Amino acid sequence: MKVTPGLFDIQVNGFAGIDFNDENIDAEMLDSALEAMLKTGVTCCLPTLITASKAVLMKRFQALDKAVANSELGALMVPGYHLEGPFLNPADGYAGCHPAEDMTPPDPQFIADLEHGLSRPILLVTCAPEFDEGGEFVRGLAARGKRVAVGHSSIGHAQLQIAVSAGISLCTHLGNGIPQELAKLDNTLQAQLSCDALHASFIADGLHIPPFALKNLLRAKTVPRSILVTDAMSAAACERPGMYPFAGAMVERAEDGTVRQPGASNLAGSSLTLDRAVRNLVTWQLVGFDEAVAMASVHPMQFMQKAMAHHQCANLESRIIWDENNTVIECRIGTALSRCFH
């Protein structure tokens, strides 16, 4: 048996049949999802809302925040939220499953309006900083104690340096949210990989990034700057293929675990769990168990610590126990929660 810190998923759109982007989410639904996440070793998470119109996003945040505030597990597991969009690149290949018609130029007031009245802050914002000339949007968010990430972006090397100086500090699901065809060397993937000031998150399901390619990405970004995320939607932890809700639409989980909008080729989130991502890295012999766990626990917590401290978010110590097969068998959060699964 091995004892490690609890896992921290900084990008999770839904879980175990529950969509965090559902305007009708309630405390019972949220607790159901969080309870299922505990079984995978996740003791802390940033529920993630994706691109939508301002009116819709306001409804979704208000519903989610009310669910978190009234839930049993929310106070222990949810320090804040991740907003992925709507300040993304709407061009084909960059938009992914995000509705391009709802994308908008960077607007700090937009985020202030979303946060108004919430019990928890938006701690992480993913945007396409090529539309933030001079870096004022990013600089303002960083000054308000938020972590800002680049994602679904075509930003080049020169402009990325400006964005990093303004406060961009993470590449969201690096290797994804970009077109299948790019310029051979002078492209946004190479620009982001080469920037040592940036951490990067990766979806290690073997579907978003082939394991051999992930090996190269980790070598370039280095393990200490790498974070595992799931980008999970409601099909995660649901073994059966079929249709599942995601941000006002129905998406299809296939037998191989891929999740797509019906008839579309691009992926729409994942069905990955974070403990499986850890096991995948070990199975693929990319890193050892301790490094894989750190990428899913210590690294995201260290990365988010500055924002959490700024907003005075609770940071409860957590521990999980793994068996000899690297399966989570027990988790604890402070003195308030203890669960045994086997």
Q: Are 121 and 115 in contact (CB under 8 A)?
A: yes
Tally: H helices and E strands in the chain: 11, 17
Average pLDDT, the chain: 96
241: containing domain:
2-340
* Amino acid identity for residue 273 in this structure: T
Integer Cα distance of 12 and 36 in angstroms: 13
User: What confidence score (pLDDT) does residue 272 get?
Assistant: 97
Q: What is the pLDDT of residues 106-125, one digit of tens each?
A: 999 999 999 999 999 999 99
More confident residue, 246 or 204: 204
Q: Is the pLDDT of residue 165 over 80?
A: yes
User: What confidence score (pLDDT) does residue 267 get?
Assistant: 84
CATH number at residue 58: 3.20.20.140
Q: Is the pLDDT of residue 223 over 90?
A: yes
Q: For the chain, what is the domain count?
A: 1
User: What confidence score (pLDDT) does residue 265 get?
Assistant: 79
Percent of the chain with pLDDT over 70: 100
pLDDT band per the 50, 70, 90 thresholds, residue 247: confident
Instruction: Report the predicted TM-score, pTM, of the whole model to 2 decimal places.
Output: 0.97
Strands 168-171 and 242-246: unpaired
Q: Are 174 and 201 in contact (CB under 8 A)?
A: yes
DSSP summary character for residue 167: T
CB contact burial 79-96 (16+ within 10 A = b; e otherwise):
bbbbbbbbbbbbeeebbb
User: What confidence score (pLDDT) does residue 261 get?
Assistant: 86
Lowest mean pLDDT: which of 1-5, 46-50, 57-61, 315-319? 315-319
User: What confidence score (pLDDT) does residue 191 get?
Assistant: 98
Q: What is the pLDDT of residues 258-315, one digit of tens each?
A: 898 887 878 888 999 999 999 999 999 999 999 999 999 999 999 999 999 999 998 8
